[in-house]
Structure 1
């Protein structure tokens, strides 16, 4: 009886482990607790930091854009990311990354960046030390 109970517990724990790991099965690159936005195979992610949000390339292990203010994921192949100096368009279906100044943007892309589809990333002010809350509006 005791042996059957142990086997049952092992089977239940194994099933829970498999279910818990299933979330990341579609992503080639891992997703961490600081990930706010992930697109495509997970290569490009917006991560939250202590002071700001950053656009990160996990394949190159490199920050592509610091102080991210807004983003828009079209859900098909493009991620639009903006900070107060630079506009970035990631074509995640093709793993392409492009930076633009405002005057270099096409009219279509400019309209997207200025539209209400863009999601603002806001870091709320901590009320106590080490108590930072992140949210998207």
Structure 2
């Protein structure tokens, strides 16, 4: 009987250690105010007291807010479509961890993962259709 208890306890301990060591596909910090996670967590929508914000985490885990006021968002597959204040449009690709942005003014690249579009028509027809559906 004593041997059985030791065997069961050992089994439970080994099982809990194995389950605890599983790696997560999320590589960036998340919290209770995280609304949407895309891909490995590099891009997220977070809930702040004043609004929802589109966030990007740099490789140093430093957070950069790409959009201060998310008006609407929709996740479709591995893509996240965001419409921000002042008609800023974002397409976040969770597969490649990149983001396309159309703001309507000249912007310089924040990071190698950001592509600023000079014209709304640079979004694909599928991406434009998604934004049309959201409005």
TM-score by length of 2: 0.63
Structure 2 residues not aligned, in runs of 5+ = 105-117
Give the superposed CA RMSD.
Answer: 3.2
What is the CA deviation profile of residues 11-48 of structure 1, one whole-angstrom value per residue up to 9, with x for unaligned ones? 979978987897x8221112211100001001110000
1:91 to 86, 89, 93: 93
**Does residue 72 of structure 2 align to residue 67 of structure 1?**
no
CA shift, 1:56, in A, is 0.5
- Name the CA shift for 1:89/1:15 in 2 (closer, same or farther; >3 Å): same
The count of corresponding residues between Structure 1 and Structure 2 is 114
Pair 1:111-2:113 in alignment: no
How far does residue 105 in structure 1 lie from its aligned partner after superposition? 2.3
Structure having the higher Rg: 2
User: Structure 1: where are the runs of 5+ without partners?
Assistant: 119-137
For 2:74 and 2:101, the matched residues in 1 are separated by 15
Trace 1:1-137 onto structure 2 (pairs within 5 A): 25-59=24-58, 60-76=62-78, 78-85=79-86, 86-101=88-103, 104-106=119-121, 108=125, 109-116=127-134
> Which whole-Å CA distance do the structure 1 matches of 2:14 and 2:84 have between them?
44
Task: List structure 1 segments (4+ residues) > 3 angstroms apart after TM superposition.
Answer: 11-22
Normalised TM-score (structure 1):
0.62
Show CA shifts across 1:96-122 (max 9, x none). 222114792237222211204x7xxxx
